[in-house]
Structure 1
Amino acid sequence: MARYFDVHPADPQPRSVRQVVDILRDGGLIAYPTDSCFALGAMLGNADAKDRIVRIRHLDDKHHFTIVCHDFSQLGQLVQLDNATFRAIKAATPGSYTFIVPATSEVPRRLLHPKKRTVGVRIVDHPVACAVLEELGEPMLSSTLLLPGEEEPMVDGWAIKEELDHQVDAVIDSGECGTEPTTVVDFSAGYPEVVRVGAGDPSRFE
C-alpha cells in the first residue's frame, strides 16, 4: 500500500521530503508532481523500479526514459554535449523540456535507447520535485504518469493513490498539477528536433 504525503506546493515540509527520500533509497517507486505533470520516480540504479514503470505504463523497449536532475552540474555528468547544444539546453533550463542526448558511461545501460545510446534528461522547475532531488543528492529516473489508453496524465494525487495503491510506494500530493507532459527535443543528430510538443514553448528549438 502506497504512503500518501500531502505537502505544501511552494514550501514542502522537510520531514515529508526526508521520508519520501528514505522510500526512494529503500528501492521504492514514487508518484510526484513536476512543473509539467505528475511523474513516476525512482533511484537511477533501481532496476526493479524501472521494470515496474514499464509494467504500469505498458512501455516498449524503444521508450526513452528520462533522468531528472536538480541542476546543470548533475546533468553534465550524464550526457555528452557540444558547445551549441550546451548553450541551447542551458538557456531553456530549468523548465518543461526533456532533451534527448548522447549519454555518458555514468548512465546505466538499461536506461539507454538500445540503438542510439541516448537518454532523456531534464531539470525540473517545481518546488516539491526540487526539494526531493536536493535531499536525495543525485538525479532520479523518471517517466510521465500516463496510463495505458489514456490521452492525458493523471492529475489528482488521491486518485493516483487509489489507482496505483499496490504498484507504487508513495504518492506526493501538492495540489493542482499540470496535464501536459514536457516538450521533447531530440539533439541526438547534432541539431534540435522537436519530437513532442508539450508544456515547454517549442518555438525556441524550431
Structure 2
Amino acid sequence: MAEFIKIYEENPNPKAIEKVVDVLKRGGLIIYPTDTVYGLGCDISNIKALEKVARIKQVKLEKSNFSFICHDLSHLSDYVKQIDTSTFKVLKRALPGPYTFILPGSKNLPHPFKKKKTVGIRVPDNKIALEIVKKLGHPIISTSIRDEDEVIEYTTDPELILEKWDNLVDVVIDGGYGDNNPSTVIDMSEDPVIIVREGKGSLEVL
C-alpha cells in the first residue's frame, strides 16, 4: 500500500519532504508532481529501484529513456559532456521550466546508463520536486505516468493516481491537480537541434 502524502507547492513542509527522501534512500518508488504531468521516480543511484521502474514501464533499463530530474544546473557536469556556451544559455533561459533537454551523456553516468550516448535533463518549475531532489543530494530518475488505456490523457487527480498505483509504488504525493500537457523535449545533443515533442514549454527559448 502506498502512503499518500499531501504537500503544498507554495510551501512544501520540510518534514513531509524528509519522509519522501527517506523512502527514496531506501530504494522506494514515488509518484510526485512536476510543472507538467505527474512523474514516477526513484533515486538515480539505486540500481534495484531503477530496475523496478523499468519493469513497471516494461522497458530494458539500459535502453530506457528516463529523464534525470535535477535541482539546478550545478549537477550538469556530473552527467553531461561539456556543452557549448550557446547551449548553456538556452538551458539557463528555459530552466526551471517544462522542458526536457537531451544532451550528450558523460562517462560518469550511473552504471545502468553507461552505454547511453545522451541523457534527458529536466529541472521542473515545481517546488515539491525541486525540494525532494535538493534534500536527496542528487537527481531522481523520472518517467511520466501516462495511462496505457487512454492514449493521450494523463491522470491529473492524485487520488485517482493513488487508486491505480497503490500496489506499485511506496509513496504518492498529493501536490494538487497535475497538468496533462507533458514537457517539451528538445534534443541538443547534435547540430541542428531537434524538437522531439512539442509540449507545454514554448519553443521561443531556442
What whole-Å deviation, never above 9, does each CA across 1:84-133 have from its counterpart, x for those lacking one?
21122121111000011111122124236x5x511100111101111111
1:56 touches 1:147 (CA, 8 Å); kept in 2? no
Counterpart residue type for residue 120 of structure 1: G
Correspondences of 1:96-111 after superposition (within 5 Å): 96-111=98-113
Map 1:1-206 onto structure 2 (within 5 A). Answer: 1-59=1-59, 62-80=63-81, 81-111=83-113, 117-150=117-150, 151-205=152-206
**Partner Cα separation in structure 2 for residue 204 and residue 19 of structure 1:** 36
Percent pairwise identity: 37
Contact 1:30 1:40 in 2 (8 A): yes
Flag the 1:191–1:77 CA change in 2: closer, same or farther, 3 A.
farther
What one-letter code is carried by the residue in structure 1 that aligns with 2:50?
K
2:47 & 2:182 partners in 1: Cα distance? 24
SS in 2 for 1:195: strand
Q: Which runs of 5+ in 1 are unaligned?
A: none
TM-score in terms of structure 2 length: 0.91
Shift of 1:154: 1.8
Alignment deviations for residues 137-167 of structure 1 (CA, whole Å, 9 cap, x no partner): 2111111111324322221111111111111
SS of residue paired to 1:35: coil
Count of paired positions: 203
Unaligned runs of 5+ in 2: none
**Equivalents in 2 of 1:87, 1:54: separation in Å?**
33
